[in-house]
Amino acid sequence: MSEVMIKSSGTLIYKGKKYRGELISEQQQARFNSKKLPLELPYAEMEVLKNVRNGGMSSTITVKMKDGNEYVFMLTNGLKVYHNMDKLWDNKPVVRSRADELHRLAELRGERIVKPKKHLIKRRHPNRSIGGDIGIYLMLAAVACLMAFPLVFAIGSALKPLDELFRFPPTVFPQHPTLDNFSDLIVTMGQSWVPFSRYITNTVFITAFGTFGHLIIASMAAFVLAKYDFPGGKLFFNVVTTCLMFSGYVTGIPNYVIMSKLGMIDTYWALLLPAFAAPIGLFMMKQFMEGLPTALIEAAHIDGAGEFRIFWSIVMPNVKPAWLTVIIFSVQSLWGNSAATVIFSEAKKTLVYALQQIQAGGIARTGQAAAVTVVVMAVPIFIFILSQSQILETMASSGIKD
């Protein structure tokens, strides 16, 4: 009988301390083995209080021992670990599925395993119709073409030589693609008063510093707003939510007056400080942190971690997708910021401002203007592509080291 067993790694909370070990279930009984704790508890002596099953894949069992102590087991029978659940106990779940276990049991009993019939088109989920899937694919493809067309057209125009830009009928793709427009752009910029590299350095500095500061400051505020109930917190958040709706134009002039009173005109602080406090970042962060299991934070409290440690080493690593979202918004607004109203020294101006000057050149610079559009749009899209793949990655394989 004892040759069939299912092992699950789990954490046992025992008198406020956590012990890693494995729960070994045999045919009729189970016991908990731990390396650190000289503890071997047979299942027969446990009184099961709670057995919370989460969709059939993991479960929490609270048991009360004969000696009066309570133990919490968190098990993953299927060991297909989802989201933050895996962080609670183990970084390396045992790679063995429940189906495998059932097959092994069946083999031991000498039963024949019937394999499911293979379909031509595999159903990904049991409750999804194939027709619906195909319909969705077709529709998405059509709309994606419509969405991408203007951007492709912009790139095509930037690569067209001058004679093709004004050809009838106009084409989407250039017949003789050339980088002339881009090299013209560099020539035009090279003749300007301030070297081109200067504009780039300025913008990169503003974007990087502003985004970093915004991420830290907004996350700190979002953490306490999401996870603690303190007087004034809800009110503050409601005010922030309302301010999401007001665009820069609407508050532009009073803002200028305030900045000049603070002596920040013509310094980067005039761009950076409002960017630090952008409502959108706080909002996104808080919404994500609400979804974070409170148990994570409580467990850290039990371990004796201070608020700042909880924030830095538990909350922040767990909201990486939200980081990337916040970063994207911040980069988007800072990179595209021409700063025309608050920065006056030529040497401090941003890239977009310089590019707008070129774009204003009229019909003679149609090609260059298209090149400018491509340059300005390329950076946020490029950053988005990079960080998006990371979002998916963080979602799939993130874990806390405790």
Partner 1 sequence: MSNTQASFASRYLSMKSNQLRYGFSKAKRMKVCYLFLAPYAILFFTFFILPICTSIVYGFTYYNILEPARFVGFQNYINLILQDEVFLTSVKNTFVIAVITGPVGYILSFLFAWFINELPKWLRAVAVVIFYAPSIAGNAYQIFSIIFRGDAYGYLNSFLLNLGFIDAPLLWLTDPHYIMPVLIFVILWMSMGTGFLSFVAGFQGIDKSMYEAGYVDGVRNRWQELYHITLPSMKPMLLFGAVMSITSAFNVCDVPRALAGYPSTDYAARTVVTHLFDYGFSRFEMGYASAIATLLFLVMILCKKAISAALEKVGT
Instruction: Return the structure tokens found at 292.
Output: 């974070």
Q: Residue from 24, 265, 273, 305 that binds partner 1 (CB under 8 A)?
A: 273
Q: Is 151 in the site for partner 1 (CB under 8 A)?
A: yes
Q: Which stretch binds partner 1 (CB under 8 A): 61-69, 93-101, 127-135, 342-350?
A: 127-135
Q: Is 358 in the site for partner 1 (CB under 8 A)?
A: no
CA distance 158 to 136: 33
C-beta of residue 380 within 8 angstroms of C-beta of residue 336: yes
Classify residue 115 by burial, with Cβ atoms within 10 Å: 0-12, 13-18, 19+.
exposed
Q: Which is nearer to partner 1, 36 or 82 (CB)?
A: 82
Q: Which is nearer to partner 1, 286 or 348 (CB)?
A: 286
Q: Which is nearer to partner 1, 116 or 126 (CB)?
A: 126
b/e per residue 212-222 (b: at least 16 CB within 10 A): ebbbeebbbbb
Query: Which residues, at least 6 apart from 211, have a Cβ–Cβ distance to it below 8 Å?
Result: 275, 327, 330, 331, 334
CA distance 116 to 122: 12
Q: Which is nearer to partner 1, 44 or 235 (CB)?
A: 235
Residues 208-267 that bind partner 1 (CB under 8 A): 217-218, 220-221, 223-225, 228, 230-233, 236, 239-247, 249-255, 257-258, 262
Fill in the per-residue mask, 363 to 402: x = in contact with partner 1 (CB under 8 A), - = not in contact.
Answer: ------xx--x--xx--xx--xx--xx-xx--x-------
Q: Residue from 27, 201, 287, 294 that binds partner 1 (CB under 8 A)?
A: 287
Q: Residue from 49, 106, 130, 136 that binds partner 1 (CB under 8 A)?
A: 136
Q: Which of 344, 339, 349 is nearest to 198 (CA)?
A: 349
Q: Which is nearer to partner 1, 37 or 243 (CB)?
A: 243
DSSP 334: H
Residues 288-307 that bind partner 1 (CB under 8 A): 288, 290-291, 307
